[in-house]
């Protein structure tokens, strides 16, 4: 072993053999793979890129007629995976997030999500503009992945919809307007979220609409859907 180190040092001084390579500490990432069925996240996979690149460089560096046999032997067990290295570099950004261009289908889905976001925000912004302005104007915001209006409690009757949350003071309600429910459902489906926070949901509408058939039908529809939601 020491003789190999001395030989490697001599080769390095002559500009041959292994260059300096840095692959980082991969013990935590590799330990996750010991569990059957486990998967690596984008950031985990990104940490493997230097290892793949280092293997490729080392393999190439340990080939050549000018190297001693004992040094050439070091490259024998090394197996580069250039296709995997290229695939990871092409698919992941600097933070380990999958790029839009990783696949045509992913690009299509992300564009569809952006379009859906813009459409629902514009719809709610138009609705917010129709409400009275004051110290706390209605604003478009997010609650549990759904776009809602933050409505001052004194204006709650002006926005029929689902009450998803309220501020700590109780002065502001976060209401999902009726006309936004279907688009929010489509947006959530695009995101493919399977885990969500459980919250109490209330159907909010002005007193004068209590006996309107359309509101009653929609209320019954929401209740029937909620009863089939996974617990």
| pLDDT per residue as tens digits for the range 83-137 | 889 988 988 889 988 888 777 877 888 888 888 888 888 988 888 888 776 656 7
Specify the pLDDT at position 200: 45
Three-state SS letters, the chain: CHHHHHHHHHHHHCCCCCCCCCCCCCHHHHHHCCCCCCCCCHHHHHHHHHHHHHHHHHHHHCCCCCCCHHHHHHHCCCCCCHHHHHHHHHHECCCCCECHHHCHHHHHHHHHHHHHHHHHHHHHHHHHHCCCCCCCCCEEEEECCEEEEEEEHHHHHHCCEEEEEECCCCCEEEEEEHHHHHHHHHHHHHHCCCCCCCCCCEEECCHHHCCCHHHHHHHHHHHHHHHCCCC
Q: What is the pTM of this model?
A: 0.52
Does some domain include residue 147?
A: yes
The answer as to whether 187 is a domain residue is: yes
Q: Is residue 98 part of a domain?
A: no
Domain span holding position 56: 2-90
CATH of the domain at 198: 1.10.1420
Q: Can you give the pLDDT at residue 203?
A: 58
């Amino acid at each position: 072993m020491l003789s190999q180190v001395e030989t490697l040092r001599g080769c390095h001084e002559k500009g041959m053999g292994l260059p300096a390579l840095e692959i980082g500490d991969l013990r935590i990432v590799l330990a996750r793979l010991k569990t059957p069925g486990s998967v690596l996240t984008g950031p985990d996979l990104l940490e493997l890129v230097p290892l793949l690149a280092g293997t490729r460089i080392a393999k190439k560096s340990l080939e050549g007629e000018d190297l001693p046999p004992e040094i050439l032997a070091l490259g024998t067990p090394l197996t580069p995976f250039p296709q995997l290295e290229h695939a990871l570099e092409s698919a992941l950004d600097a933070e380990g997030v999958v790029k839009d261009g990783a696949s045509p289908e992913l690009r299509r889905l992300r564009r569809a999500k952006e379009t859906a976001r813009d459409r629902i925000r514009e719809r709610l912004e138009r609705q917010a503009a129709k409400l009275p302005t004051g110290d706390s104007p209605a604003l478009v915001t997010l609650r549990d992945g759904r776009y809602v209006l933050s409505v001052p409690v004194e204006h709650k009757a002006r926005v029929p919809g689902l009450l998803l949350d309220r501020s700590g003071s109780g002065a502001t309600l976060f209401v999902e307007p009726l006309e936004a429910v279907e688009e929010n459902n489509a947006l959530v489906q695009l995101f493919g979220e399977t885990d969500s926070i459980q919250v109490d949901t209330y159907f909010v509408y002005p007193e004068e609409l209590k006996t309107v058939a359309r509101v009653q039908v929609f209320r019954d529809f929401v209740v029937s859907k909620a009863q089939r939601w996974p617990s």
